[in-house]
């Protein structure tokens, strides 16, 4: 059973988060000592010689006919650029989105990986816009 479970987890870039369940299945995961000493620190788990951080996979669903909401959500998550002509010169203004500000990652269509605090911010924004969304805690490699 342990070999099958390990093969299953190797297929995915993101892992499930409950180390107690994984340890019960025979997988050895440990929380780094810095998290034990400082509970407010970001959770980092080591498994197979690699470090994994606790992240949140956020999926949202916007109707294709609702372009206004889609544009507003895109601006909030991904940011935008504006080009203006002022006094004959061209100026570019960049407004970073939540993903760039919090070092998140776009994972797929309507799916992003964020830290838990950024995911909460995005979740409440999406709920305020009446957009259906779900949050799932995951373990992701340090590259996220």
Quick one: pLDDT at residue 143? 63
The answer to whether 93 and 85 are in contact (CB under 8 A) is no
Higher pLDDT, 39 or 44: 44
- In tens, the pLDDT along 90-136 reads 999 999 999 999 989 998 898 999 998 999 999 999 999 999 999 99
CA distance 50 to 30: 11
Q: Are 61 and 133 in contact, with CB atoms under 8 Å apart? A: yes
Map out the domains of the chain as residue ranges.
Answer: 2-141
Q: Is the pTM of this model over 0.75?
A: no
Question: What is the Rg, in whole angstroms, of the alpha carbon atoms belonging to the chain?
Answer: 19
Residue of 49, 43, 36 whose CA lies nearest to 17: 43
Which residue do the tokens 């294709």 mark? 64
């Amino acid at each position: 059973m342990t070999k099958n479970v390990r093969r299953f987890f190797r297929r995915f870039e993101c892992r499930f988060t409950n180390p107690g369940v994984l340890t019960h299945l025979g997988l050895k995961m440990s929380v780094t000592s810095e998290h034990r000493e400082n509970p407010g620190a970001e959770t980092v788990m080591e498994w197979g010689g690699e470090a994994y951080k606790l992240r949140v996979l956020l999926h949202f669903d916007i109707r294709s006919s609702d372009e206004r909401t889609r544009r507003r959500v895109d601006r909030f998550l991904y940011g935008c650029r504006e080009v203006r002509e002022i006094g004959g010169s061209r100026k570019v203004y960049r407004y970073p989105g939540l993903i760039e500000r919090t070092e998140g990652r776009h994972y797929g269509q309507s799916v992003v990986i964020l830290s838990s605090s950024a995911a909460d911010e995005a979740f409440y924004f999406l709920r305020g816009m009446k957009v259906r969304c779900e949050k799932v805690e995951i373990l992701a490699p340090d590259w996220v």
